[in-house]
Amino acid sequence: MDRKLYVLRELLEDPRISQRRLAKKADLSLGTINALMQQLENDLLIESRVISGKSTEYNVTEQGHLEKAELTRLEAIHCYQFISEVKGIIKNNLEKLIESDIHNFIFVGQEDEIYKLVKMTFNDLRRFYEISYELYPVVPEDISNEIIAATDDGVQNKKIIIWDTKNMVNDHICHILLMA
């Protein structure tokens, strides 16, 4: 996230936050926060008012609110573009597997945001391909990388798809975000 946006959001949440606390929350040096606060004040995005000897209140100006809105818009666009790019990578990787005659998948990982992207992409592909999946939080012990399952019309391969690297158990499992 843009540093200026982060600071403006924090100041709106707590106008009396100390620069030291803000630096710690933002994982930035105190000097960096001090320079950023000075820049925001020089740009008329915030106004500072000393409350007591060591306490200062920072108020976001009307111009600061407008800047925050624009920075938020740009951040949303950037995030959307990034999510679209990741979804495209997932789609390409799933299509490569489908084209190699794999139509059944085992998804391994927590039902987190990445899982939602994988599932959304998978459901988009279901409109064009006859594919299915099972979901497991961790790799079941009785499953290997390629599972051959007998069906009425022959043999189908299943491919394990993983997105949570903490659950990676061996190099043969396909990591959906990294596979070529």
CATH (domain of 45) = 1.10.10.10
DSSP H or E stretch at residue 160:
strand 154-162
Residue 154 Rama label (left phi>0; alpha psi -120 to 50; beta): left
User: 120 in a domain, yes or no?
Assistant: yes
Q: Is 125 or 108 the better-scoring residue by pLDDT?
A: 125
CA atoms of 162 and 64, how far apart (whole Å): 43
User: 70 in a domain, yes or no?
Assistant: no
pLDDT tens-digit map of 8-35: 999 999 999 999 999 999 999 999 999 9
Q: Domain range for residue 108? A: 84-175
Contact 125, 98 (CB under 8 A): yes
- The verdict on 38 and 104 lying in the same domain is no
What whole-number percentage of the chain has pLDDT above 90? 50
Whether the model clears a pTM of 0.75, i.e. scores above it, the answer is: no
Structure confidence at residue 161 (pLDDT): 66
Structure confidence at residue 129 (pLDDT): 93
Q: Is 70 or 112 the better-scoring residue by pLDDT?
A: 70
- The mean predicted confidence, pLDDT, of the chain is 82
- Pairing relation of β-strands 46-50 and 56-60? antiparallel
- The verdict on 108 and 171 lying in the same domain is yes
Q: Is 86 or 165 the better-scoring residue by pLDDT?
A: 86
Give the bridge partners for 41, in sequence order: none
**For 114, which DSSP code?**
H
Q: Is 144 or 67 the better-scoring residue by pLDDT?
A: 67
Average pLDDT over residues 92-111: 82
Which of 14, 45, 60 terminates a domain? The answer is 60
- The verdict on 171 and 131 lying in the same domain is yes
User: 73 in a domain, yes or no?
Assistant: no
What whole-number percentage of the chain has pLDDT above 70? 77
- The verdict on 51 and 108 lying in the same domain is no
- The verdict on 150 and 96 lying in the same domain is yes
- What total number of domains does the chain contain? 2
CA atoms of 98 and 78, how far apart (whole Å): 30
Average pLDDT over residues 40-55: 92
